[in-house]
Amino acid sequence: MKLTFLGTGAGRPNKTRNVTAAALQLPEPACSWWLFDAGEAAQHMLMQLPLKLSKLSVVCITHLHGDHLYGLPGLLSSRSFDGGVDPLRLFGPRGIRAYIETTFKLTGTVLDYELIIEELDEGCTGILYEEDGCKLVAAPLEHRIPCFGYRVIEPDAPGRLLTGKLEALGVPKGPLYGKLKRGETVTLQDGTIVRPTDVIDGKLVGRIVTILGDTSPCANAVKLAEGADLLVHEATFAAGMEEKARAFGHSTTMDAARTAKEAGARRLIMTHFSGRYSLEDLSGLREEAASLFPSADVATDFAVFEVERRKMG
């Protein structure tokens, strides 16, 4: 599982930073990917990556500000030209349906696949969608207009099979290996009972990735980020600019670090930087957050962050 940033700027693009979009690649067997926000030129950024639009299965829009949305109609249209025929699910605040349907009607755009639009409201709870075991959850945040954060939860998986133990117990290679790997107990021809715990090296803990939209510090941000292996949090402004951040419904580097710490996240990636900050300024922004939350980092366009599985037992 890996997360690639297609844009890390706030408000408008500049020469070194596009506006918000991020692609999350799911592990096998899905091998599909989900897109979080689609700022202007999102599909142009995708052309630089090995990601195919035909493999895109879910789009999650955090809110309807243009720097998170203007690239969506073109991207959805291009998916048809890129061989996309499988259904695509689009999640976003109320109004996303009208935006897409009006744009397509006025431009005469016709898709070659089914677009399933699901609008979210302030009371959304529970699992929105599940794909090969990966669950999608959303909750409202604090911004100037309705805005949501998303949490992706991967299921636990068994560890590797201990072939030495399998051979010692006389388990023949083939279907029985698969049953044990799936957590099923098997009985051999001589009556020997072999349990998965006897021949599997612990378990791999499911990964959690939390991607928040624009937000001021709030309880739902912490809740969505609880125990996350990777938390993506906006840091529009530097520390000390909390008053300005609140006025526009945003956060500072220290706000992001505080949320990560309270949530018990394992890693924090900051994004959505104001145009006042150059690439050279990012190391200073990272250091601000790291003073409170050491596992803090900053995103740049095309940066890729691997999310590794942890083993238990």
pLDDT in tens for each of the 313 residues of the chain?
999 999 999 999 999 999 999 999 998 777 899 999 999 999 999 999 999 999 999 999 999 999 999 999 999 999 999 999 999 999 999 999 999 999 999 999 999 999 999 999 998 888 999 998 999 999 999 999 999 999 999 999 888 888 888 888 888 888 888 888 878 898 998 889 999 888 888 888 999 999 999 999 999 999 999 999 999 999 999 999 999 999 999 999 999 999 999 999 999 999 999 999 999 999 999 999 999 999 999 999 999 999 999 887 6
List of residues 6+ apart from 127 with CB closer than 8 A: 135, 136, 137
Is the CATH number 3.40.50.300 carried by domain 2-158+202-312? no
Question: How much is the pLDDT for 178?
Answer: 84
Q: Is 67 annotated as belonging to a binding site?
A: yes
**C-alpha distances out from residue 87 to 18, 25, 75, 79, Å:** 28, 17, 15, 11
Residue boundaries of the structural domains of the chain = 2-158+202-312, 166-198
Q: Would you say 143 is a known binding-site residue?
A: yes
Whether the upstream peptide bond of residue 29 has omega within 30° of 0, thus cis, is: yes
Report the alpha-carbon angle 9-15-18, nearest 5.
Answer: 30
pLDDT value at position 106? 98
Q: What is the pLDDT of residue 293?
A: 98
Amino acid identity of residue 83, one-letter, is: G
- Is residue 250 a known part of a binding site? no
CB 148 within 8 A of CB 120: yes
Catalytic sites, residue numbers: 67
pLDDT of residue 313: 66
Residue type, 194: V
Residue 272, marked binder: yes
Measured CA to CA, the distance from residue 140 to residue 63 in angstroms comes to 10
Residue 68, annotated ligand binder?
Answer: yes
